[in-house]
Structure 1
Amino acid sequence: MIKVFRPFWSYDVKKTEVWLSDMAKKGYLLVGLNRWTRCFFFRQGKSKLITYRIGYDKMHGSSLSRSLLDEGWIKVLQSGKWYVISNEKHLEQIKTSSVREGIIKRNRTIMYIFSGILIYLTGIAISNLTIISFSLFQDVSVEIVESPLWILTYSLLGFAIAIYVLSIYSVFKINKTNKYLISEKNNKLQSVNHIEGRLSKEKEKQLKLSGQMVVKRKYGWMYSPDRLEKWLETMEEHGYNLYRVSRTGTAFYFIIDSPRRVSYCADYQNISDESYFDMHRDAGWKSAFISYSSLQRWTIWSREFSEGEERPQIYSDKSHHLKHARRVVITYTILFLPLMIIYILNIGLFIEGMFNNGTSRLSLLNTVMFLFCIFVFGSFTVRTWLYYMRLRKRYDFHL
């Protein structure tokens, strides 16, 4: 029996699965996991070719679903909500495996926590650096007072730096892992017709040069999704048929053809699984765009309808549509409000310094930069609230 310590194994489950398979090739078979000490336990045996899959979900008992059992998967272990299953088939022969939704959701929660810590510590650092830089560029005497508890001061500073570095690593590593897991899922979920109908880059270039394809850019549409929907529907009525959307969601490619009646819906989901996409596709909707971002999970749905037919809607229930709009508002308000507060506090420090010590180019430049950031993030927040208010007015729904 051997024990291996891997502190950040859950940050990259795909890499951990490959590592477990490599250990099996060397004759070390997984038998245990302690999620608290971050240790894996192996027993030495014969070399085997084993494919491992890690999942995170409530699993009662030792039985797997019938589909996984039929595919040859067996449960190796479970530690809390973490579980590991294995399969001795060749990877090319495996058609079904465990879902990743639980891992993606858990990773997102951890990433939000570390992002909050990162924003908080960055705000403190910016405030202190601003005060120091302001003092250095002004004719102000700076007096440094030595701390009576310098050991405690430097220890706390070292701890804060360590937490800051850990937060940066955690956010970037988890974000990268989630992007991979989401793209892995989206490769299966993308519309088949959309993929099969994709033109080559050379063909797209020819269509652009001939004027048969136009590219329109929409930045920040997720803060006013109703206006994006109306714009796309109007473009379709004028013969601009949406062909595809760029991976970033900012560039919209249209092919000039006959006018169509198409209903669009920009839908935000904190996390979406296969059933979410299957449900809408079964109802006749096509996914024109699926975001790959871990923070903004947007899908643009489209559905063509004939003249005289009622315009199809994903949210037929008013309360559900308003609930969706509230989720958008709350998400972006929580995201942007702390940043605006930090910038406002910094502007207050600069203005106070200008009143006390006069105006300098540096202080004016910093004030203008902070005001610009407040305007940008504030406009994003206000646009989401206006979107929610427009929806309430449309439905005449008073809470």
Structure 2
Amino acid sequence: MNGDVVRKRKWFWSWQDENQESWLADMSKQGLHLTELGGFASYRFAKGAPRSYAYRLDFANKKGTDDYFQFIRDAGWEHLGTLAGWQYWRKEDCAGESSEFFSDTESKVQKYQRLLLSFATSSPSLAAMMVVGLGMFKRFPGRHPSWFVILFVGVFMIGILFTALNAMMVQSRIRQLRQSQPV
């Protein structure tokens, strides 16, 4: 890689991890290799020779678990970074060698269940912060313009709806995986 850096922004929903993996692999085939994950759908790539990489994402809030990282590194994967609980991994595609991260459907389902658990723990926090904020508005009436109160409630409602939508789509992805599983 020759040192040139390219930033790209591309949005993926939490249930679109396989789409994101394909997009990252396509970028590498064009000579753009992921080097850094930024916030809000931002990626940094190093320009280099086109290469065939497999990218895999795992939702695992296991930042401190050395065994987790070592197990995957021993299988030949390079850890690229962590973003919001998602672990990004890369491995050179070799003919005849599997580039699958999860060898069975149940492992994929467990990944999505870990993601659902994170949604389940964040939604009550959002709701609690909204209730506390509304309590402050009620306790000190007239100190905040009505547009601010509406904006405050709107932002939290969007956050809760965003989380609910993600949870529903992840649950749908789990159903798809289970239905495609041979009986």
TM-score using structure 2 length: 0.72
State whether residues 239 and 258 of structure 1, in contact with CA within 8 Å, keep that contact through their aligned partners in structure 2: yes
Contact kept? 2:54, 2:90, Cα under 8 Å: yes
Q: Which ranges in structure 2 are unaligned for 5 or more consecutive residues?
A: 138-143
1:215 to 2:7 alignment: yes
8 Å CA contact 2:15, 2:173 repeated in 1: no
Highest RCO, 1 vs 2 (Cα 8 Å, sep ≥ 6): 2
> For 1:378, which of 130, 142, 161 is the aligned residue?
161
**Does 2:179 correspond to 1:396?**
yes
Deviation per residue, 1:88-109 (Å, 9 max, x gap): xxxxxxxxxxxxxxxxxxxxxx
2:60 partner amino acid: Q
Task: Choose which of 17, 27, 35 in structure 2 pairs with 1:225.
Answer: 17
How many residue pairs match? The answer is 177
Evaluate the alpha carbon distance shift between residue 345 and residue 248 of structure 1 in structure 2; reply closer, same or farther with a 3 A threshold.
Answer: closer
Q: Measure, in 1, the Cα distance between the counterparts of 2:128 and 2:22.
A: 33
Q: For 1:316, what is the secondary structure of its paired residue?
A: coil
Does the CA contact (< 8 Å) of 1:305 and 1:312 recur in 2?
yes
1:339 aligns with 2:122: no
Q: 1:387 to 1:239 in 2, by over 3 A?
A: farther
Residues in 1 aligned to 2:44 and 2:108: alpha-carbon distance in whole angstroms: 28
For 1:286-365, list aligned pairs within 5 A.
Answer: 286-290=78-82, 296-306=84-94, 309=96, 312-340=99-127, 343=130, 362-365=145-148
Q: Distance in 2 between matches of 1:342 and 1:362?
A: 19
Which of 17, 21, 36 is 1:245 aligned to?
A: 36
Whole-Å separation in 2 of the counterparts to 1:255 and 1:342: 40
Is the aligned partner of 1:255 residue 2:46? yes
Cα offset for 1:326? 0.8
Q: Which has the larger radius of gyration?
A: 1
Give distance in 1, aligned partners of 2:37 and 2:110. 28
Tell me, yes or no, if structure 1 residue 267 matches structure 2 residue 58.
yes
TM-score (norm: length of structure 1): 0.37
Aligned-pair identity (%): 21
Aligned runs of 1:102-121 on 2, under 5 Å?
none
Counterpart for residue 141 of structure 2: none
- Asked if the contact 1:263–1:304 (Cα under 8 Å) also holds between the matched residues in 2, the reply is yes
8 Å CA contact retained: 2:36, 2:43: yes
Residue 285 of structure 1 aligns with which residue?
77
